[in-house]
Chain A
Amino acid sequence: MSKYVIIGNSAAAIGCVEGIRQVDQKGEITLIASEPHHTYSRPLISYLLYGKTDEQRMKYRPNDFYKKNKVTKRLGETVTEIDKKQKTVTLKSGEKIQYEKLLVATGSNPFVPPMEGLENVKNRFSFMTLDDAKALDKTLKKDTKALVVGAGLIGLKCVEGILDKVATVDVVDLADRILPSILDETGSDLVKKFLESKGVKFHLKDSVEKFEKDKVVLKSKKTVDFDVVVIAVGVRPNISLVKDIDGKCHRAIITNNKCETSIKDIYAAGDCTESADCATGDMKVMALLPNAYMQGETAGINMAGGTKLYENAIPMNAIGFFGYHMITAGDYVGQTYEALDGENYKKLFYKDNRLMGFIMIGDVMRAGIYTSLIKNKTDLTTIDFELIKEKPQLMAFSKKKRSEFLAK
């Protein structure tokens, strides 16, 4: 019997441990995860290949984290099912562990669509875990020709990680532009040109027809030589543990603002969940590390008998390639304000006197002021919107607000 059982060992799971311990210093916590590693930051795997971090520094929490928080860790073990009546989880070994409160923080898995000939490609990888990154790294040599399928966040971070280690990097994507989930056309074009200047070759509006030995044939009939392929076309939330016991799921596990699932005493957090976008009210999978941590922390506090609501989630992203940064958040709806100056680009989206979303590329200074306008649903008639358009600044707020921010 463990008072708390956590499935997962990344941001949401760690947030949960820290949330529980804010309320309950003693209750036994058992943390179970398939990966054998100390908690590490998944988004850092590209930085590991790029040489900006190492395995020690990419640990998400210090070495003594589990001990300090009195967590019994069961790493390298996989939960195969949950019994919601008996309140147990079953491990692959058959062992059952009882819980009072359970967190499902199972994340997501790379989605690899069927592609002709892929099974015969020896050096094929996903780019999701530390082991993926290390296995990929081992195959890379100065004369390697790398192919990345997918020009989204994961695919392009992988490109950044490997570009300096190999001879060529080709990127194929069905979409007509790169990073379509976070950028508009102008933004995509700027970043694409920048990456091309670094030597990346893009094949957009195209897809894999078949893999042959050492080369790929695209739908356009173009062929690209390669030695190593990374498939990064998307991810699928790991929902089966909850879905199998009739927990409410759409694309991901549905959670409320306490991070509860539809099943009593079972909580969920992170990339495996769908939750409300606070700015629009829509249910979304907001698979990003800050949300995962804060959902996990919220779940933990509630599991331990405290009260916490997580009502601040919006889609948002900070990403950069070779020092070229972009920060985006919110929904791209309504009227727009745009400013383009060389490599710096900014676009604001506003509707009904509210800032709904923004894109900043290049100069991203103080972007969080925009983010908070979206999250707080600030009425734009109460601030100087012309100043906000110019740049994110507290000067745009009323004297009273500024005093609340800085003098209290």
Chain B
Amino acid sequence: MKRIYVNEKWCLGCHLCEYYCAFANSGKDSMVKALKNVTINPRIRIEERGGISFAVSCRHCEEPLCTKSCITGALSVNDGVIQIDKDKCVGCYTCILTCPYGAIVPSETGAIQKCELCMNNSSGTPACVAGCPNKAIVFEEK
């Protein structure tokens, strides 16, 4: 299955992936409308320190602890992609307790949100990958 991989050697720490992610998931048709004067809450996050930076998003694990632990059945695996049914999610954060990468975050509604490889938004293909100026984030079959 195609997954997102990051190579920290190429990461510039520009945070553009975070902005593209927030825009892709905003439901808005222009980046300005989506992001101006907004504190973004992206599903991919940059960690940076002392000249090192890299992006972290859902690994779509083959043994997904988040999904197996989900108390509501809101998380499910569909064709290898771990998806969240926000309507079912009550925001108990058991997935945050179990995700070893820290890749699941709360959304504004109280339900959690996570990377779904842009399968369920207008982008259709990972926006972070398309927007990365240095190919530090790739979408590949390995």
Contact = CB atoms under 8 A, between A and B. Distances in A.
B49 interface: yes
Nearest to B142: A408
Interface residues of A, number: 48
B92 A318 contact: yes
Contacts of B98: 290, 316, 368, 371
Contacts of B5: 406-408
B90 A44 contact: yes
Contact of A395 (B47, B69, B142): B47
Contacts of A60: 72-73
Interface string B56-92: 1001000001001101110000000000000110111
Interface in B5-37: 5-8
Interface stretch (A50-58, A167-175, A192-200, A261-269): A50-58
A325 B65 CA distance: 20
A61 B71 contact: no
Contacts of A372: 100
Interface in A347-400: 364-369, 371-372, 387, 392-395, 399
B118 interface: no
A367 B99 CA distance: 8
B68 A297 contact: yes
A61 B102 CA distance: 26
A316 B71 CA distance: 13
Interface residues of B, number: 37
Given A393-B47, A394-B47, A403-B8, A318 B102 contact: no
Contacts of A320: 91-93
A334 B98 CA distance: 23
A76 interface: no
Interface in A283-323: 289-290, 293-294, 297, 316-320, 323
A327 interface: yes
Given A59-B73, A405-B59, A367 B97 contact: yes
Contacts of A406: 5-6, 8, 54-56, 59, 101
A369 B69 contact: no
Contacts of A327: 93, 96-97
Interface of A: 11, 15, 41, 43-44, 47, 52-53, 57-62, 289-290, 293-294, 297, 316-320, 323, 325, 327, 329, 364-369, 371-372, 387, 392-395, 399, 402-403, 405-408
Given A320-B93, A407-B6, 9 more contacts: A11-B71, A43-B92, A60-B73, A289-B69, A290-B98, A293-B69, A320-B92, A364-B96, A394-B56
Q: Which 4 A-B residue pairs are closest in the complex by CB-CB distance? A: A366-B102, A290-B69, A372-B100, A368-B99
